[in-house]
Amino acid sequence: MTTELEMMLDHVSLSVADMEQAKRFYSAILATIGMELVAEVTAAQSGSVAYAGFGIGRKGQLWIAQGGQQTPSAHICFRASSRQAVRDFHAAGLANGGSDNGVPGIREIYHPEYYAAFVRDPEGHNIEAVTFEPEAEQ
């Protein structure tokens, strides 16, 4: 049986105006949690717009589509393996054109072990990383 910590969506898509900027931003932040650019589809191939997929192995879980800036913006949260990965995710977001939308820390309002950070991507999407793991011992 799947537990609440194992649940996941198959994939999510976001529309972006600047595909190259979005690929740089998502490549940087998602690398901190073990994801990478796994597929690209041209507008000619799709028959509409270009897509880029980020995931693990051959499976894209986050797809960005060059369809123009999305309104309203979206919120997506990714599971991180550790609190350090959450901190790295936040730092990578800020270093790659994102803006702070919540520094790494416990969010007891959600859960006593909910350790998360939030960044707005360059187009305004609220992107989060969360872990329920305790701080690693040094």
Output the pLDDT for position 59. 86
> Looking up tokens 């949260």, which residue turns up?
77
Output the pLDDT for position 11. 84
Reported pTM: 0.89
Output the pLDDT for position 17. 96
Output the pLDDT for position 9. 67
* Residues β-bridged to residue 119: 100, 127
Dihedral pair phi/psi, residue 75, rounded to 5°: -120, 125
Structure-token pair, residue 3: 């537990």
Output the pLDDT for position 136. 79
Which helix (H) or strand (E) segment is 106 a member of? strand 99-106
Mean pLDDT in order along the chain per 10 residues (138 residues): 58 94 97 95 95 90 94 94 97 98 97 96 96 83
